[in-house]
Amino acid sequence: MPQAPTSGGKEIDVINGEMFIGSRSLSGTSGEARAVNPATGETLDPVYRGATRAELDEACRLAWEAFDPYRSLEPETRARFLETIAQNILDIGDALIERAMAETGLPRARLEGERGRTVGQLRLFAQVVRDGRYLDLRIDPAMPERQPLPRPDLRLRKIPLGPVAVFGASNFPLAFSVAGGDTASALAAGCPVVVKAHSAHLGTSELVGRAVQAAVRTSGLPEGVFSLLFDTGRDIGQGLVADPRIKAVGFTGSRGGGTALMKIAQARPEPIPVYAEMSSINPVILFPGALAERGEKIAHGFITSLLMGAGQFCTSPGLILAIESDKLDEFIAGAGNALQSASAATMLTPGIHQAYEAGVEALRSHTAVQTIARGQAGQGYQGVPGLFSTTAEAFLADRKLAEEVFGSASLVVRCRDEAELASVLDSLEGQLTAALHITEADHEDARKLIPVLERKVGRILVNGFGTGVEVAHAMVHGGPYPSTADGRSTSVGTMAIDRFLRPVCYQDMPEALLPPELRDSSPYDRLLDGKTVLGA
């Protein structure tokens, strides 16, 4: 009989209904919750109970006590810790994928891919830690002879903010959850993490939490580097953001949830940043040349992107913009025909399904909106895809038409001319992505809109769709409010680490007291008197 994967003598593939406060594994005592299989409606064992305020206090206390020792570790130790988490997640094996399938209704291939992304993020941030460029080292040597005043010796590095609260996301049970991008980048920065698990992924969260806790143990780190809490209401999540030992928050979810946490964070005696990813409809702009040359192909790609994951991606194409033409009519007809044969798909939670149905009904019943097509009827918590159309005039007159419908629903906005299309774009709130479908003949028209898009979105892409976010150095997965709480940040890619760092300057500090990375013998790249100097 195969042995269960272990780390440090403890199994990491068991589900006992436990949360983790530092090195302790324990069952909560506040309320009861069970995960639900959205594909069948089946309630899953075991029962989970939420943390108490005392347990929240303990997790935050341990995180604060771990902060200075953890951030002072050799970079190699922190990098190996991240790699150990990644390997532990892989070592859980099928148990993790099967539990995530049961809790989300997502297919095996999607979740195996998401596991790969989760592991890849952790390993990428291990490289970032080793590389040291995230420290943004800057040295301006003293100029004692400078006139009229001498210049002191100035040296700058970035240091971690402190313990970070991370909220698991509903639509990514692995890549944006317990050991997802927020956790990986915070740990890489040197910040202990307290995770509030999403209520839909209780067993999945426990499994990944065991993997992280085991990595803390085998790496010899302070136990408070990681804790995982469950909450059967909102008390623990809100209390976590309000706790004075928490210095930043990572959140992916609804606008209502994100803004509520932002208010709590700003009302503290010491306000803290909340990096919340919340709402985006991701406009897709179809230019005349592209529609004439390959309208059918674009329609196929659009429907494929719209249906992906039942539309439960923050980058799903929820808005199509184009100038009235026969080719636009052909595009709409082709997309509608493709959508009619699409099956209904299981949505992640009963609550998400209910919100999707309400959003679709609001479009369907709107007097200025035409229903182009609906997909095949579903059952239970399955969402039926929908494609709708309206005019730019109606869209501009009713801001509700610009609200996100989280799922496989999209609205085509017909514009009379370039000026009206530009007005629609200018009316939009901040977005994660915008896509331009163009040919060379469209370049001049596209060029006119790029300044508007740069103000509105975090990622502009050409001849594609926003679904599929590459984890890479140059990726931006963020945008102006309300797509994110802070448009200067990204939650994907190596720049995500910047959210959890702040600069500190050392003036005329003796060499022996300087942080090692700021000494003259530092092996890291730095900006020396305004010029880049490569490390050893």
pLDDT tens sequence across 241-279: 999 999 999 999 999 999 999 999 999 999 999 999 999
Residues 6+ apart with CB under 8 A from 522: 137, 516, 535
Mean pLDDT, residues 131-149? 97
Q: Are 344 and 375 in contact (CB under 8 A)?
A: yes
Centre a 10 Å sphere on the Cβ of residue 146 and count the other Cβ atoms it contains. Answer: 9
Instruction: Say what the pLDDT of residue 245 is.
Output: 98
Mean pLDDT, residues 37-45? 94
Is a pLDDT exceeding 90 seen at residue 2?
Answer: no
Q: What is the largest CA-CA distance in the chain?
A: 80
Domain 18-278+490-498 and domain 283-462, same fold? Reply is no
Instruction: Say what the pLDDT of residue 176 is.
Output: 96
Task: State how far the alpha carbon of 491 is from the alpha carbons of 138, 175, 406, 485, in Å.
Answer: 25, 11, 19, 11
Give me the active site residues, please: 277, 314
Is a pLDDT exceeding 70 seen at residue 9?
Answer: no
- Which CATH number is associated with domain 283-462? 3.40.309.10
Phi and psi dihedrals of 226, rounded to 5? -145, 135
End-to-end CA distance of the chain: 50
Lowest mean pLDDT segment, chosen from 11-15, 228-232, 527-531: 11-15
pLDDT tens for residues 153-173?
Answer: 999 999 999 999 999 999 999
Domain 18-278+490-498 bears CATH identifier 3.40.50.12590:
no
Q: Are 55 and 28 in contact (CB under 8 A)?
A: yes
pLDDT tens for residues 168-219?
Answer: 999 999 999 999 999 999 999 999 999 999 999 999 999 999 999 999 999 9
Q: Assign 5 a pLDDT band (cuts: 50, 70, 90).
A: confident
Burial class of residue 389 in the structure, from the number of CB atoms within 10 Å of its CB (0-12 exposed, 13-18 middle, 19+ buried)? buried
CA nearest neighbour of 57 among 245, 225, 234: 245
Q: What Rg, from alpha-carbon coordinates, does the chain have?
A: 25
pLDDT tens for residues 220-231?
Answer: 999 999 999 999
C-alpha–C-alpha distance, residues 304 and 520, integer Å: 54
User: What's the whole-number average pLDDT of the chain?
Assistant: 96
Q: Are 491 and 498 in contact (CB under 8 A)?
A: no
Task: State how far the alpha carbon of 382 is from the alpha carbons of 276, 304, 321, in Å.
Answer: 27, 17, 28
Mean pLDDT, residues 27-32? 94
* Domain boundaries, given as residue ranges, for the chain: 18-278+490-498, 283-462
> What tokens were used for 459?
């990622």
